[in-house]
Amino acid sequence: MGGKSSKAEDKRNKKPVPTITASRTKKTLTENVPTQASNDDGAFGVRRFRRKSISDLEPDLVDRSDNTTIMSKAAPIQAYKPIRHKHIKNDDGAVGGRSLGSKSKSDLDDGAVGGRILRTKSDVDIDPESRLSFDDDIFHSTRKAQGMDKLNADTTVITIKSKREKALVCVSIDFGTTYSGYAYSFKSSPNDIIGRGGGQQIKTPTIVLLDPQKNMVAFGDKATNKYLQLVKNKQHTSWYMFERFKMALFVRDGPLDKDIIIEDIMGKKMRAIDIFSLAINFIKTEVLNTLTDKEHMKDIDINSENDLQWVLTVPAIWNDLSKKFMRDAATKAGIPDEMLTLALEPEAASLYCKEQLGISKLPSGHRYMVADLGGGTADITVHEVNHDGTLSEIHQPTGGDFGGTNVDNKFINTLVQIFGADLFQKFKQNCTDEYIDFMQSFETKKRHFNSTSRMTIRFPVKLREMYEMDIGEKVETTLAQTPFARNLEFKNDKLIISVDLAKSFFDEAIDKIDKSISDLLKKVKPLNHILLVGGFSESPYLQSVLRNTFGNMVIIPEEPSSAVLRGAVMYGHKPLAIAARVCKYTYGIARMMKFKQHHPPNKKIEIDGMAYCDDIFDKHIEIGTKMSVANAEHVTAHEYFPTMSEMRQAVLEVYASPKRNPKYVDEDGCQLVGLIKVDIDPQGDIYAKILVKLMFGGTELRIQVTDVKQNIVTNANFDFLG
């Protein structure tokens, strides 16, 4: 149909957006491009649906036992930046449309049969102890014949069998902003966790070194040492050294481009997905070399990629698209998707603290907060101990980009104010070895600063020489004219920083952490303890400030910087130790409805003489909803109908919003987090029914789409860790 082209359409036409197509004939999910539906028969494509009450469902059209339900292997939905979908034009001139919905499944009787949705453990009838979590990627459909056992003949049972259950080893990778590492333990002895290098120096700086051909050469301290040698020999200019690049994935609102570009230490650019995947692949290779070393691994034989379960940590405060990016990077690095679990960093730390501090022995109802204070982010969550020793989240995660690297940034900004941005950048590029040594020296002093002693750092001779040559006066003369005159002193080759100025480097990040904890504390009282983990939590100054505010509630476990890494191994073995999570966003599907007087005029669309309102946010679950992981009880089911009988395909767009009751999918903060493309009954029926179930509670959102008339079921999932 007609309609004016939108700006978002123009963007989409310039850059196709990947989707997942659910094919009826091949019974698989294949990648496609939504903007060009290219139906051979010139049929209408993509996204225009209306919503009708689920009570109109015909009893004999859903889950009939006399027909075989076609189940496709689950595949990840491609996530991408939000793009408005208005009247999508196909090459053949056909017009696409959107999906629309129905009443919530909660309106149905729980025991209803005869075709309506059965509310029986989200259609998953499994012993919780025998499976991992909702992010299991292999689904099998079985249907009980009439009269078999006690199951009703109309019941479809979807069983989940994970390859990860059969793995011999669980390996965790904590990919941090400043430091990264890995740890593992065997399924036969899950609590015997072994760190990188056998436990010595379990983490190393997150630094990637590539040669001029962009091949990975070294990671961590070895990357730094190799690069410094290249600088000494004046061979470094065509090499690539990336550090602290994880924060490129932290976005509060708006899109995350999967082709996002990041710069190395010299300003050379590469795609972030390539850097992340190369780094993860390097760590993976080191793990495999360790586990296949026959001299050290005499009692276990690793023969297949299915012998290893991988757990990759991500911040809980990241949005869905950032988490999807990390999964894509891991699979690009060669980690099989079905063997990969994503773990929330504060959850992993909580499991570590639970074991180390004996929290599992505390009485039911005991509440504690975990503040994971890393290099890039502060990630804060609250858990309550259940009667069986498992943990339930009682508030959605909070925090922000106020980790330890903020201290470094404040220090650099001070130097820039003194020496000027251009000269400091020139120093960084022309005297890279001195710059790296200088920042490493500051990092060491930062970790031990206790608010009572001044910082003394070896100052780069080349920076002083460059300044005095360019400006024509001594550094001390310039310093005397700045606001830092009383707080900085250059003495021979040393830079002496006063206590007050050093504290100011920390204060902004610490104040935000203090406020985040205080605000959350008001919402979750009573609270027994506040556990500090992560590299930044080891700062004596930060500890003293938070203890001054929160007193004896503050507890710091042993080795807090490795709490996430070790806890992620525990999570891999027992993901159901986290029994419940709180939904971080309101999730829904974009749809249309009949246009009414109160609707915005700019959303009015006419199709076949009928006026519709576009961009309706059809809510499936609300922010703050507590979701059970073990019982998978949070299932929403809405029914969608096409607005045109000619439609042959529909794209279901899943949106996330920070609001409780968003009305439209283009409101501020609303993000498109994924979509699934499904075929529609080729007979052309405006009453064709598409039943959509969104299943919440695990680390991924699972979607089940049913073509009711043809009784064809498609399962898919994409990353959902909110």
Q: What percent of the chain has pLDDT over 70?
A: 72
Q: In the predicted model, what is the mean pLDDT of residues 575-590? A: 92
> Please, are residues 602 and 612 in contact by the beta-carbon 8 Å criterion?
no
Q: What percent of the chain has pLDDT over 90?
A: 54
Q: In the predicted model, what is the mean pLDDT of residues 263-284? A: 96
Give pLDDT, residue 719. 42
Give pLDDT, residue 7. 38
Comparing 111-120, 269-278, 519-528, 605-614, the range with the smallest average pLDDT is: 111-120
Is residue 106 very low, low, confident or very high in pLDDT (cuts 50, 70, 90)? very low
| 3-state SS record for 460-523 | CHHHHHHHHHHHCCCHHHHHCCCCCCCCEEEECCEEEECHHHHHHHHHHHHHHHHHHHHHHHHH
> Please, are residues 265 and 428 in contact by the beta-carbon 8 Å criterion?
yes
Is residue 198 very low, low, confident or very high in pLDDT (cuts 50, 70, 90)? low
Q: Does the pLDDT at position 178 exceed 50?
A: yes
How far from 50 is each of 96, 568, 590, 613, 661, CA to CA, in Å? 13, 43, 10, 10, 20
Burial 23-49 (b: 16+ CB within 10 A, else e): bbeeeebeebebbebebeeebbbbbbb
Comparing 118-122, 523-527, 582-586, 612-616, the range with the smallest average pLDDT is: 118-122
Q: What is the token pair recorded at 413? A: 């900004």
**C-alpha torsion angle, residues 12, 14, 15, 19 (rounded to 10):** 40
Taking only the tens place, the pLDDT of each residue in 656-667 is: 999 999 999 999
Q: Does the pLDDT at position 57 exceed 50?
A: no
Taking only the tens place, the pLDDT of each residue in 472-490 is: 999 999 999 999 999 999 9
Q: Where are the beta strands (DSSP E) in 305-344?
A: 308-314, 340-344
The structure's pTM equals 0.77
Q: In the predicted model, what is the mean pLDDT of residues 449-465? A: 94
Give pLDDT, residue 359. 74
Q: What is the DSSP letter of 570?
A: H
Comparing 57-71, 333-347, 504-518, the range with the smallest average pLDDT is: 57-71
How far from 256 is each of 15, 373, 668, CA to CA, in Å? 14, 23, 16
Q: Which residues contact 224 (CB under 8 A, 6 or more apart)?
A: 205, 207, 209, 241, 436, 440
> Please, are residues 124 and 140 in contact by the beta-carbon 8 Å criterion?
no
Phi, psi at residue 113, to the nearest 5°?
A: -130, -160
Give pLDDT, residue 436. 95
Q: Does the pLDDT at position 287 exceed 90?
A: yes
The more confident residue out of 47 and 429 is: 429
Place of tokens 């059969």: 166
For residue 139, give the amino acid letter.
F
> Please, are residues 329 and 276 in contact by the beta-carbon 8 Å criterion?
yes
Place of tokens 């003293």: 544
Q: In the predicted model, what is the mean pLDDT of residues 691-699? A: 77
> Please, are residues 500 and 488 in contact by the beta-carbon 8 Å criterion?
no
Q: What is the DSSP letter of 451?
A: S
Q: What is the token pair recorded at 316? A: 């809980």
